[in-house]
Amino acid sequence: MTTTAMAPPATISGDATSGQARDRVLWGVLMLAPYLLVFAVMVVYPVAYGLWLGLNWQSYKALFADPIFIRTMVNTVVFLFIAVNLKFIIAMMLSGFFVQQRAWVRIILVLFILPWAVPSIPTILSFRIMLNPENGMINQQLFQWFGIVEGPGWLTDPTLAFASSILVHIWKSLPFWTLILVTGRLAIAQDLYEAASVDGANKWQQFRFITWPSLATLYVTSTLLSMIWTLGDFNSVYLLTGGGPGDLNHVLATLGIRYMRNNNLDLGIASIICAMPLILPMVWFMVKRLSKGAE
Amino acid sequence: MKKVLDEGKLILIAIPVLIWTLLPIYHLFVLSISTQESMLAGRLWPEKPTLQNFQIVFNQQHYYLTNFWVQLFNSFMIAIATGLITLFIATCAAFAISRLKAPGGRSIMNFALATYLIPAAFLAIPMYKAMGTFGLLNTRVALILAMVALASPYAIWVLKQASDKLPKELDEAAIMDGANSLQLFRLVYLPLMKPSMVVIGIYALLLAWNEYLYAFLLLSSEKAVPLAVGLGLFLSADDAPWNLLMTAGLIYAIPPAVIYYGFRKNMVSGLTAGAVKS
């Protein structure tokens, strides 16, 4: 060890320090071991096992013969398209509100984050009770204020139930993405806006030519990430409507679990494997993007 | 005049935003202090606000609540265990990848990132099957292991990024002084990483506390499940006592909200900076 103390920094990885280099490799491997163990046992083995179970050709035949599966595929695409776009349009507008440098706006921001900070089970169940067609607060209030005796079947009408799931999903995830876009907006140099308004640019032009170009990369990355997470949103559908009424409103994230609970594990696995062509390209793209950003 | 007009416009945005955000949370709160009748009447504010629901929940005086305290304890235990184990695993792994440049570190990071990005709902069934072959179904260990596996990738990624930002010269100086890897870890890395470690510990803890799907798949006995699943059990009946459900839900929601707001500054910057790198 005394030799290393005298060695110039440039030779740290040279012969004199080969003991240290070996020490680094040894500890490097040792410290990765706990994660590798968890990864092997909890991710690699289950996924390999799942793929092996998914080799059964019969289950895909059965799956595509099941009208609920076809309906679910359509639902998933519609859910994804509406939820992600609506969420980001609103988040984009609200981020313009929350960058306002006012004390009371900052207080509202603190409250606005609540849906994200509070666990989703109680709040989604709260939605479910509130939207109950007979005794729920919404329809009771519609009756008391407007005399509407039979309010909308928020959870019993198939289309409305589907829309309600989308709204609950947006309610939960909107704060996070708004915050991301607020962070993005705060990074834009303020003098750009000042110069633009001196030149007589209106608000829309400022957004079009300053805000949007600065946020475009962040917006695309965020949208993609949100698409992946939206695909995996189990709670908003399952806890609100259970995929109902009549199994009409499942998405891929809940359908597998439904098959499993009906003792149809093979179909569950097959439905998950069918989701992979949709998910894996996005995951691959994001991994590349995130690991590059981390350099 | 223009100032006032601007302020007015902002308020016109703020009001619907607040109503939209707070309505379900307000509803949760109102039902928790409502009697059964005023709940069924869908009132905006109960005729006679009461704390009786809390009494019933705390004394477990309802069929759905017979295991309330055990389930609350399970939630705490599972969350704390997940937090601590994830923190240990991720701190070590991030050190190995970022400071020791361990062989294969880069590809491990990429695999971990892929695990983080694939939605947990799609890993649930394979993990359930695997737990069955391990003979761990219906044990809390199964849920803790699953949550650690789900929380670690993001934890490693955030800690690795934080660690990459520490100056290289610190390591070089310590190595010149003859420090070995373990000393580097203990004396240089750990003290500087504390703020990020707090964020990650809380992230994993909240992830486990809030989890519903895995808990309800991996655990079945009513004494083993965390409170999240206990709340879901109310759904098995159409005429369940919603006000009691909301009371228990409120109690369940308070710890994470308190933790979240207590560490809000660190959480928001730590997690949003990590979540999206533009």
Instruction: Quote the minimal CA–CA distance from B194 to chain A in Å.
Output: 18
B121/A253 touch (CB, cutoff 8 Å), yes or no: yes
Specify whether the CB–CB gap between A53 and B129 falls below 8 A. yes
Chain A residues lying within 8 Å of B160, measured CB to CB: 294
**A–B: how many Cβ contacts below 8 A?**
319
- Return the residue of A nearest to B117 by Cα: A283
| Closest C-alpha among B254, B150, B215 to residue A122 | B254
Other CB atoms within 10 Å distance of the CB of residue A62:
15
Domain identity same for A129 and A99: yes
Please check whether residue B218 is in contact with residue B137, taking contact to mean a CB–CB distance below 8 angstroms.
yes
Nearest to A46 among B41, B127, B178 (CB): B127
Task: Out of B172, B253, B273, name the one closest to residue A118 (CB).
Answer: B253
Is A91's pLDDT higher than 90? yes
- What separation in angstroms does the CA of B34 have from each of A140, B28, B246, B247, B249? 15, 10, 10, 10, 14
Give chain A's domain count: 2
Q: Is B24 close to A140, i.e. CB distance below 8 A? A: no
| Minimum CA–CA partner of A39 in chain B | B149
pTM for this predicted structure: 0.89
Backbone phi, then psi, for A150, in 5-degree steps?
A: -110, 95
Interface test with A, best of B18, B30, B76, B125 (most A CBs within 10 A): B125
Tell me, what's the pLDDT at B108? 92
The rounded radius of gyration (Å) of the Cα atoms in chain A is 26
Model pLDDT, residue B277: 42
Nearest chain B residue (CA) to A216: B278
A60: in domain: no
B262: closest CA of chain A, how far (Å): 11
Is residue B226 within 8 Å of B214, Cβ to Cβ?
no
Instruction: Say yes or no for a CB contact (<8 Å) between A287 and B113.
Output: yes
Same domain as A44, residue A189: no
Encoding tokens for residue A51? Answer: 């793929």
Residue of A6, A23, A35, A131 to mutate, interface with B, max B Cβ within 10 Å:
A35
CA closest to A113 among chain B residues = B21
Rounded average pLDDT over A174-187: 91
Contacts of B18 in chain A (CB under 8 A): 108, 111-112
- Interface check for A184 against chain B (CB to CB < 8 A): the answer is yes
> CA-to-CA distance for A251 and A77, rounded, in angstroms?
9
More reliable by pLDDT, B42 or A156 = A156
Of B202, B208, B203, nearest to B120 by C-alpha is B208
Mean pLDDT confidence for A55-67? 89
pLDDT at A199 over 70: yes
* A61 assigned to some structural domain: no
Task: Look at residue A293 in the predicted model and tell me its pLDDT.
Answer: 59
Query: Do residues A35 and A144 both lie within one domain?
Result: no
3-state secondary structure chain A: CHHHHHCCHHHCCCHHHHHHHHHHHHHHHHHHHHHHHHHHHHHHHHHHHHHHHCCCHHHHHHHHHCHHHHHHHHHHHHHHHHHHHHHHHHHHHHHHHHCCCCHHHHHHHHHHCHHHHCCHHHHHHHHHHHCCCCCCHHHHHHHHHHCCCCCCCCCCCHHHHHHHHHHHHHHHHHHHHHHHHHHHHHCCCHHHHHHHHHCCCCHHHHHHHHHHHHHHHHHHHHHHHHHHHHHCCCHHHHCCCCCCCCCCCCCHHHHHHHHHHCCCHHHHHHHHHHHHHHHHHHHHHHHHHHHHHCC
Which domain, by its residues, includes A23? 18-53
- State whether ipTM is beyond 0.85: yes
Same domain, A76 and A214: yes
User: Per the domain annotation, does A200 fall within a domain?
Assistant: yes
Sort B29 into a burial class: Cβ within 10 Å, 0-12 / 13-18 / 19+: middle
CA–CA dist A276, A53 (Å, integer): 15
**Is the same domain home to A26 and A89?**
no
- pLDDT over 70 for what percent of chain A? 93
* Cross-chain CB nearest to B121 (options A126, A135, A234): A234
CB atoms within 10 A of CB B105: 19
Q: At A7, is the pLDDT very low, low, confident or very high (cuts 50, 70, 90)?
A: very low
Token digits of residue A126: 């709260």
- Nearest chain B residue to A91 by CA distance is B17
**Region A49-73 average pLDDT:** 90
Say if residue A84 is in the same domain as residue A30: no
Please report, in tens digits, the pLDDT of each residue of chain B (278 residues total). 667 778 888 899 999 999 999 999 999 999 999 888 887 777 888 888 889 889 988 988 888 888 999 999 999 999 999 999 999 999 999 999 998 888 888 899 999 999 999 989 899 999 999 999 999 999 999 999 999 999 999 999 999 988 998 888 888 888 888 888 888 898 889 999 998 899 899 999 999 999 999 999 999 888 899 999 999 888 877 677 888 999 999 999 999 989 888 887 766 665 555 554 43
What are the CB-based long-range contacts (under 8 Å, 24+) for B35-38?
B35/B243, B36/B241, B36/B243
pLDDT tens digit string along B29-86?
Answer: 999 998 888 877 778 888 888 898 899 889 888 888 889 999 999 999 999 999 999 9
Rounded distance between C-alpha atoms, residue A238 and residue A254, angstroms: 6
Q: Are residues A95 and A36 in the same domain?
A: no
Q: Please give the CATH number for the structural domain made up of B67-236.
A: 1.10.3720.10
Same domain, A167 and A81: yes
Same-domain check for residues A27 and A169: no
Measured between beta carbons, which residues in chain A are less than 8 angstroms from residue B109? Answer: 291, 294
Most A CBs within 10 A among B117, B141, B207, B235, hence the mutation to make, goes to B117
A227 contacts chain B (CB < 8 A): no
* A107 part of contact set with chain B, CB < 8 Å: no
Among the listed residues A49, A90, A251, the one whose alpha carbon sits nearest the alpha carbon of residue A162: A251
* Residue A153 and residue A256 in one domain: yes
What H or E segment, with its residue span, contains residue B39? helix B36-40
For residue A131, the domain's CATH number is 1.10.3720.10
**Closest approach of A108 to chain B, Cα-based (Å):** 7
How many other β-carbons are positioned within 10 Å of the β-carbon of residue B222? Answer: 14
Structure tokens at B148: 């650690």
Mutate to test the interface with A, among B106, B122, B186, B188 (most CBs of A within 10 A): B122
> A248-295, pLDDT tens digit by residue?
999 999 999 999 888 888 888 999 998 888 889 999 998 888 877 554
Side chain identity, residue B156:
I
For an interface test with A, the pick among B7, B118, B269 (most A C-beta atoms closer than 10 Å) comes out as: B118
**Distance of alpha carbon B230 from alpha carbon B238, whole angstroms:** 16
Tokens standing for A210? 């300053």
- Residue B230, token pair as written in the block: 């206990």
- CB pair distance less than 8 Å for A47 and B182: no
